[in-house]
Structure 1
Amino acid sequence: MMLRKIGLMLGVSLLITLMMPRRAAMNFNFAPGETWDEETLVAPFDVPVYKEAEQLNAERKALMEEFQPVFRLDPVVGETQLRTLRADLAANTSLSDNRREAIWRAFRQVYARGVVSEADRAAYTDRMVRIDSAHVLSGRFAADMFTPNTAMDYLQQTEGIDPQQAARYLTPSLVYDRSLNARLREELLARLSRTEGIVRTGEVIVQKGQLIDRHTATVLTSYRREYENRLGRGISGAVLFLSRFLIMAALMTLSYVFFTYFSQNHFTAWRPMLFVFSLYVVMAGLMALVVRTQFLSPYVVPLPVVAVLLLAFFDTRVAIFGNISVVLIASLFVRFSFEFFTVEFLGGITAIFVIRHAYQRHRVFRAVGAVLLVQELIYVALLWMKQGTLFVDYSGMLWFVASAFLMLAFYQLIYIFERVFGFVSDITLLELSDTNQPLLLQLAEKAPGTFQHSVQVASLAESAAKEIGANPLLARAGALYHDVGKMENPFYFVENQTGNFNPHSMLSPSQSAAIVRSHVTEGITLARKHRLPAVIQEFISRHHGTSKMYYFYVEEERLHGKVEHPEEFVYPGPKPVRREVAICMMADSVEAASRSLANYDRETIDELVDRIIDRQIAEHQLSQADLSFAEVTRIKELFKTRLNNIYHGRISYPTSPSETPSPAAV
C-alpha cells in the first residue's frame, strides 16, 4: 500500500511537471506609466528588442497591401484561339483581306496583354501584378489586363467587331496561381524583422526609480521573453524541470502527510488520495491548455470547485488544504502568480464557508455566486492597486463568469465521483435520511419501537453535530440505521416488547447477551445487502464500541458467582473513530436510558446524562474519536436541554368540572 502511494505521488508530480510551460518564471511585473522600484536592471546578455504586436501586425498588413500577386500566362490558350479565328476569317468570303487582317491583329493584341477572369481582376484592380511568361516575370497594372467583357468592349470600339461574335474567341489566358502566391506571401512575411534594435550585454535596461515609458516597457518585455527562452533550453532547461519536479514532489508529499495525519478517517485507503491527486492533475491540465492558448485567460479555470468537491466528500480541513495546494500548482503555470494566487485562493475559501454542509441544492448556486463576487472584487482591487487609477480595463471580469458556469458543470460530476471512488456526499446522505427508504420502512414495520428510538437518536445526534461543527447530516443518517440489526429478533429488545412478557426470562444471561450482541453483526449483513455506504456501516458496527452489557454481566455473576467468559458480554466493536459515530454512541445510550427513568425532573435527567457519558469516557470508548473534552461537555449540555424539553412536566387535565385545579395550583 505504501509503495502504491509513493508511486502515485511521484507519478502525479512528474505528470504535472511535464504539463508546465517550458519557460522560466520572472519575479517582476511592470506597466507603462509606473515607476521601476526594483534595482537597476543590466542586460546579462544581448537582448533583441521585439516589436510590439500592434506594430508587427501593422507592418504585416502593409506588406500584404504592397504584395504583387503572380498570374501565369498560358500561351497555348491564345495561340489556339487565334488559330481558330484565322481559320474562321479565311472561310468568310464576305470580308476583304485587309478586314480579316485587322480583326486578327486586334485579337492578337488582346491576348498579348492577357485575358483574366472577372473575379481575379476585381480582387487586384488597384495593384501592380506580375505576369509569369515562360518563367520570366514582368510587372503590369491589373487594370491593363483584359477580362472577356472589357475585351469585347475594346474590340467593338476599335474594330467594330460584334461582341457576340467576339465572345466565342475570348478565353482567360492568365491564371491566378494560389499555391505559388501563398508561398510568396509566406516568404515575404518571413523576411519581416521581428525586432527593432538590440540591447548589448552590460547596457542598462532600466534604472531604479525610472518612469517606465512605452519603449522601456517593450525592452523589458523583450528581456523577459529572451530570459525565459534561454532558461528553457539545454542545461538550464533541465535544471528548470528538476526544480519544478522537486516543488511538485514536496507538495504531493505534504498533501499525503496532511491528509494521513489530520484526516485519518477519510484517508485510510488509497482511493481518496487518488481522487484528490486526480483533481490536481485535471486542474493542471486545464491550466496547461489555457496558457498555451492566446485568447483564453487563466482565470477561466474553475479552481474553487476543487474545494467544493473536497468539502462534499471529506471535511473542512481537507477542503482548505486542497484549495491551497491546487492554487499553488496553478500559480506555477502563470507569470502573475501573486495576483492569481490571491484571487483563486480567496475564491476557494469563500466557497468553503458558504457551501459548508449544504442540505439544499440552491446553496451551491449561492456559493458559486459568492465566489464570483469575491473573485471579481479582488481582481478589480488588484487592478486599481497595480495601475493606480479607476479607469482600467474591466473586460477581464467576464472570465470569472465563464469560470462560475464551469464550476456548476463540474459540481454535477459528484454522482460519478461517488460511484467511482465509493464516496458519500451530503446529497446522498440527505437521500438516505428519508424514512421512506426500503430498509427504514422494514425497520418501522418489524421493530416499531426501535424505529422510534432511532428517530430520537438521529434528532439528538444531528443537534450535537451542529453544536460542535461536525457533519450533522452524516450524524442523522447514520443514527437512523445504527440499530437496523434489531429487526431480525425485535422482541428481544425492550423497546419492542408489549405486555409483561420478556423472552430473556427463558434464556441464560450468556444466551441473552449473544442475541443482543448479534444485532450489530446482523445490522452489518443487512447494510451490505442493501448496499449502504461504508460510512453508514461504521455507525452500525461501532455505535456500542467495545462496551460491556452490564445487565447480563451482573446476572451471570449473580447466578454463578463469577463470569467464566467475560468476552461474551462485550460488544464486538471496534470503537468509534469519526466524531459523528461517537456522537451517535452517546446519543444512543442516553436516549435508551432516559426511557427507563421513574422521575423526569431536571436533576434526574442531568445526572443520567453525566453518568452515562462519563462512564463511556472512563471505559475509553471515545479515546479514538476526534473529540475534545470541551466538545463532549457541550454535547452533554445539549443532551440535557433536549431531554428536559422532551420530558418536561405537563398539567393533568381534569376528567370532570369538579376536578378543575385552582389557578394557584396551575
Structure 2
Amino acid sequence: MDFQAYISKIRTFLSYKVFTSIIYCILGIALFATLYHNVKPETYDIELFSVADKTIRSTKTVEDEIKTAEAKENAAEQVDKVYVFKKEMAQNRVSLITSIFDFVKDTNNESSKDVEKNASEIKKEEVSAISLQSRLKQLKTKLTENVSEDITNTISDPIFITFLQADVEELQRTKDIVEQYVETAMNEQIREDGMEAARKVVADQIKTAGLSNELQTAAIELGKYAIVPNDLYDPLLTEARKKQAMEDVEPVKILQGQIIVQEGHLIDRETYRQLEMLGLLKNNPTIKPIIGLGIFVILVIGSIYIYFSRLSTSEDKKQSYLLLSSLIFICSVIIMKIIGLIEGDNLNKVAYIFPAAMAPMLIKTMINERLALIMTIILASCGSIVFHDGISDTINIEIAVYILFSGLAGVLFVSAKNERSHILRAGLLVSCINLLLIFFLLLIGGGQFTLTEYFYFGLFSVMSGILSSVFTIGLLPFFEAGFGILSTMRLIELSNPNHPLLKKLLTETPGTYHHSVMVANLAEAACEAIGANGLLARVGCYYHDVGKTKRPPFFIENQMNIENPHDRLPAETSKDIIISHAADGAKELRKHKLPKEIVDIAEQHHGTSLLKYFYFKAKKLNDDTPEIDYRYPGPKPQTREAAVISLADSVEAAVRSMANPTPGEIRSLVHHISQDKILDGQFNECDLTLKEIELVKTRFCETLNGIFHSRIEYPDLKQQKVIGSDTAN
C-alpha cells in the first residue's frame, strides 16, 4: 500500500476536523520539541559565597530594577529645594504701610471734629485723653475691617498711639522713610532663614533717618513687621523637579553577554542576586522563555490554520496540502536544527548554508505561491530562534533576514514551467541573492573579518542556493507520488509521447490519438483565455480517450477502410460499447497510477450527455425507449478544465465531419454545440460562467479557423508534365 492509499484509509475512519486537528497538534508538538532546546535557559547549581567554577555571562539584556530604583532615589535627593521669588510682594508690603498711615491720618481728622464739638462741656485734658483712646479704637477697628492681616494683635498699641500723636509732617516723614527702606529690602530675595537679617538692616537704616525716639521706635517696629519672606519654597515645583530627575535616570541594565562572575571569583550577595534575577539558578529557573515559545507555536499553527480554513478547494485536497506542507516544514526545521548543532561546534556562521529556498520552492511547485510565502516567513522566524549564536533566550535578526529574502528569491525565481533545468537555474539565482545578502549583513554590521572568513561566508551562501534546488529536485518526485500532487513538472512528464499509454494510443488507435491532439490544442488555448490551467487541459486531452484502446474499431476515427461494426449491432449494444470507453479509460489510468485530475477528466469529459444517434436509432424500434439508458453515467464536469475539454471534444468531432467548413459555419456549429450543452445542464456542477463560455467559443473559432483555413488548389501532376513537355518543345 503506497503512502497516498494509507492516508486515504486513515481519512475513511476520521472526519475532516479530527484529521486536521491531529495534524495541527502533531505539528505544534514537533515544532515546540524542536525549538525547546534553543529557548531553554541554561541554569547553574551555585550557592551563596561559593567560588564560581566557570565564567558566567548574561544570556539576555534585562533591567536591574533594584539598582535603577537606587539610582532614581539618589537623583531625587540631589535635587535642591525650589524657591520662587515673589517680586510683587515688595509693592504689597509698601501698600500695607501706606494704608496704615492713611488710616492714622483719617482717624486723626475724624477725631478732631468730635473734640471741637465736645470742647465746651469737657476739660481740655479730659478731652485729649478720651480723644486718644477713641482714635486708637477707631484706628484698630478700621485696620481690622480693611486689612486682611491681623495687624492689631501683632503691632502693640503704643506704636499706634505714637503715630496718632505725631503731627502731620512728622507722620508723613516717618511714612516716607519706612516705605523707602521696606521697598528697598523687599526688592531683594528674602528667605525664611534670612528674614531676621533683613529686618535688622531695615531697623539700622531707620535709626539713621533722624526721627524722634518715639517715632523711630514705632517706625522700626512697623518696618520689621513689613519685612516678610519673598523667596518662597515651592513644594509642588520641587516635587516635579525630583520626578523629572528620576525620569532622566537611565535604567540600570545587565547587558546580554555581560560577565556576571568570572571563573574563580567569589559569588557574593550582589552577584547571587543578579544570577537569581536572570533565572540562571537551578533553584529559581525562569519559565518566561518557555511561555514565549508556546505563544510562538500558537502563532505559527494559527497562521497555517487560518490559511487552510480560507482555502477554496475540496476537503481532501486541503488535507493533502496540509499534510504535505507540514512534512516539508518539519524537514526544513530538522535540517535547520542539524546545522544549528554543527554551528555549535565552533564552525562560525555555518548557518548560512541552510537551504532556505527549498521549502518555498517545493510548496510553490506543488501547492501555490501564497502558502510558499507564508512558509518563508515562518521559517525565517524559526531560524532566528535556532541560530541564536549560542546564547539562549535570544533571536538572531541577521539570519531571519537572510532566510526571508533567500526564500522569497526561491519563490520568485521558480518559473511556471517548473522543469528540472528551471529549478536548477532558480537555485543558482538564489545563490546570487544569498551572496549579496551575506555581504550586506557583514558590511552593515561593521565587523572585522579576514579574507578567509569572507570566502567561507560566500561559499556557504552559494551552497545554500544550490542545495535548495538539489533538494527540491530530489524530493519533488517523492512528494508528488506520495500525495498524488499534479505539479507542472509532473504534467510535462506525462505529456511525453514516450509514455506507455500514449504510445499505446498512437499505435493501436492512431485516429483517436490525432483527435486527442486536436482537442488538446483547442482546450489549452481556451483554458488560457479564461485563466484556467491550460497545461492540465492539454495533458488531460491526451489521455481522455484512452478507454477507446479496448475496442478501437468501434470508434469512427479509427475506422479506416473498414466496415462500421455498429451497422451490424443493435443500438443497445453499441450504446454500451461507446459509453463504456469513459469508465474503461478511467480504469486504465488508475491502473497506471496517473493523477486523479487526469482520471477525473477521462470520467467527466462526456458528463451525462445523450448518445443521440443510438438513442434515436433505438427509438425507431421502440418508441418507449427511456432516454436515461442512453446517457453517459457521469459525473458531469466538476472543474473548468473538464468542462472546456468536454466542449472541445464535441466541437472538434463535429467540425472534423464537415467538408471544407467556412468561418461562419464553424462559428455557428460552435455556438449550437455550446448552447446544447448549457441547456442540457452539463456545466451545472462546475464554476464555468457564461462570460467564460463566450471566451471559450471565441478561442475555439480562432483555433479552428487556423486549422481549417483555405488552401491553394494545386493542378494535377499529370497535367503539369504535359504542359512542361509542350513548353520544352
Identify which of 598, 603, 619 aligns with 1:541: 603
Which moved further from structure 2: 451-460 or 542-551? 542-551
* Structure 1 contact 316–352 (Cα < 8 Å) conserved: yes
Query: Residue 479 of structure 1 aligns with which residue?
Result: 541
- Could you tell me how far apart the structure 1 residues matched to 2:382 and 2:632 are? 47
* Counterpart code for 1:534: K
Identify which of 241, 255, 259 aligns with 1:219: 255
- Does 1:283 pair with 2:309? no
SS in 2 for 1:636: helix
* Counterpart code for 1:585: S
Deviation at 1:486, TM superposition (A): 0.9
- Could you tell me how far apart the structure 1 residues matched to 2:420 and 2:56 are? 57
Query: Residue 308 of structure 1 aligns with which residue?
Result: 361
Query: Residue 301 of structure 2 aligns with which residue?
Result: 249
Identify which of 486, 506, 516 aligns with 1:444: 506
Deviation at 1:336, TM superposition (A): 5.7
Deviation at 1:363, TM superposition (A): 0.9
* Counterpart code for 1:589: S
Identify which of 415, 423, 426 aligns with 1:356: 415
Query: Residue 616 of structure 1 aligns with which residue?
Result: 677
Deviation at 1:641, TM superposition (A): 1.6
- Could you tell me how far apart the structure 1 residues matched to 2:638 and 2:595 are? 16
* Counterpart code for 2:358: V
* Counterpart code for 1:366: R
- Unmatched tracts of structure 1, length 5 or more: 26-186, 208-215, 661-666
Query: Residue 17 of structure 1 aligns with which residue?
Result: 32
SS in 2 for 1:190: coil
- Unmatched tracts of structure 2, length 5 or more: 1-13, 41-49, 73-251, 261-273, 388-393, 724-729
Query: Residue 649 of structure 2 aligns with which residue?
Result: 588
Specify whether residues 653 and 217 from structure 1 end up closer, same or farther in structure 2 by C-alpha distance, changes over 3 A only: farther
Identity %: 28
Calculate the aligned-residue CA RMSD, in Å.
4.3
Q: How does 1:166-315 map to 2 (within 5 A)?
A: 190=53, 200-203=64-67, 219=255, 222=258, 233-258=285-310, 261-264=311-314, 267=317, 270-292=319-341, 293-294=343-344, 295-315=348-368
- Could you tell me how far apart the structure 2 residues matched to 1:202 and 1:629 are? 74
Query: Residue 271 of structure 2 aligns with which residue?
Result: none
- Could you tell me how far apart the structure 2 residues matched to 1:604 and 1:394 are? 71
Q: How does 1:417-436 map to 2 (within 5 A)?
A: 417-436=479-498
Specify whether residues 323 and 472 from structure 1 end up closer, same or farther in structure 2 by C-alpha distance, changes over 3 A only: farther
| Cα offsets for 1:152-178 (capped at 9, x unmatched) | xxxxxxxxxxxxxxxxxxxxxxxxxxx
| Cα offsets for 1:296-350 (capped at 9, x unmatched) | 4544322322222223333445544544554455456565676655554444344
Query: Residue 505 of structure 1 aligns with which residue?
Result: 567
- Could you tell me how far apart the structure 2 residues matched to 1:460 and 1:360 are? 24
* Structure 2 contact 36–290 (Cα < 8 Å) conserved: no
- Could you tell me how far apart the structure 2 residues matched to 1:573 and 1:10 are? 39
Specify whether residues 282 and 255 from structure 1 end up closer, same or farther in structure 2 by C-alpha distance, changes over 3 A only: farther
* Structure 2 contact 57–259 (Cα < 8 Å) conserved: no
Identify which of 369, 383, 399 aligns with 2:428: 369
Query: Residue 4 of structure 1 aligns with which residue?
Result: 19
Query: Residue 575 of structure 1 aligns with which residue?
Result: 636
Deviation at 1:557, TM superposition (A): 4.4
* Structure 1 contact 320–352 (Cα < 8 Å) conserved: yes
Deviation at 1:280, TM superposition (A): 1.2
- Could you tell me how far apart the structure 2 residues matched to 1:542 and 1:427 are? 24
Q: How does 1:58-69 map to 2 (within 5 A)?
A: none
Specify whether residues 554 and 349 from structure 1 end up closer, same or farther in structure 2 by C-alpha distance, changes over 3 A only: farther
- Could you tell me how far apart the structure 1 residues matched to 2:402 and 2:673 are? 49
* Counterpart code for 1:301: F
Deviation at 1:516, TM superposition (A): 1.0
SS in 2 for 1:20: helix
SS in 2 for 1:274: helix
Query: Residue 40 of structure 1 aligns with which residue?
Result: none
Specify whether residues 433 and 265 from structure 1 end up closer, same or farther in structure 2 by C-alpha distance, changes over 3 A only: farther
* Structure with greater helix percent: 2
Deviation at 1:414, TM superposition (A): 2.1
Q: How does 1:510-525 map to 2 (within 5 A)?
A: 510-525=572-587
- Could you tell me how far apart the structure 1 residues matched to 2:629 and 2:395 are? 66
Specify whether residues 14 and 450 from structure 1 end up closer, same or farther in structure 2 by C-alpha distance, changes over 3 A only: same
- Could you tell me how far apart the structure 2 residues matched to 1:640 and 1:608 are? 10
| Cα offsets for 1:212-266 (capped at 9, x unmatched) | xxxx9983554999898679944435533432342233134224424xx324387
* Counterpart code for 1:373: C
Deviation at 1:189, TM superposition (A): 9.2
* Counterpart code for 2:327: S
* Counterpart code for 1:477: V
* Structure 1 contact 8–274 (Cα < 8 Å) conserved: yes
- Could you tell me how far apart the structure 1 residues matched to 2:23 and 2:62 are? 47
Q: TM-score, normalised by structure 1?
A: 0.62
* Counterpart code for 1:283: S
Q: TM-score, normalised by structure 2?
A: 0.57
Specify whether residues 558 and 377 from structure 1 end up closer, same or farther in structure 2 by C-alpha distance, changes over 3 A only: farther
Specify whether residues 453 and 230 from structure 1 end up closer, same or farther in structure 2 by C-alpha distance, changes over 3 A only: farther
* Counterpart code for 2:425: R
| Cα offsets for 1:596-640 (capped at 9, x unmatched) | 224422122223333333443444434444555555444333322
- Could you tell me how far apart the structure 2 residues matched to 1:539 and 1:523 are? 10
Q: Tell me the matched-pair count.
A: 486
SS in 1 for 2:317: coil
* Counterpart code for 1:647: F
* Counterpart code for 2:255: V
Deviation at 1:477, TM superposition (A): 2.5
* Structure 2 contact 435–461 (Cα < 8 Å) conserved: yes
- Could you tell me how far apart the structure 2 residues matched to 1:350 and 1:600 are? 51
* Structure 2 contact 62–254 (Cα < 8 Å) conserved: no
* Counterpart code for 1:16: L
- Could you tell me how far apart the structure 1 residues matched to 2:400 and 2:691 are? 36
- Could you tell me how far apart the structure 2 residues matched to 1:219 and 1:194 are? 9
* Counterpart code for 2:53: A
Specify whether residues 24 and 497 from structure 1 end up closer, same or farther in structure 2 by C-alpha distance, changes over 3 A only: same
Specify whether residues 357 and 237 from structure 1 end up closer, same or farther in structure 2 by C-alpha distance, changes over 3 A only: closer
* Counterpart code for 2:565: P
Deviation at 1:24, TM superposition (A): 6.5
* Counterpart code for 2:21: I
Specify whether residues 306 and 506 from structure 1 end up closer, same or farther in structure 2 by C-alpha distance, changes over 3 A only: same
Identify which of 461, 465, 468 aligns with 2:523: 461
Specify whether residues 549 and 364 from structure 1 end up closer, same or farther in structure 2 by C-alpha distance, changes over 3 A only: same
- Could you tell me how far apart the structure 1 residues matched to 2:420 and 2:430 are? 16
* Structure 2 contact 63–253 (Cα < 8 Å) conserved: no
Which moved further from structure 2: 292-301 or 544-553? 292-301
* Counterpart code for 2:417: A
Specify whether residues 545 and 265 from structure 1 end up closer, same or farther in structure 2 by C-alpha distance, changes over 3 A only: farther
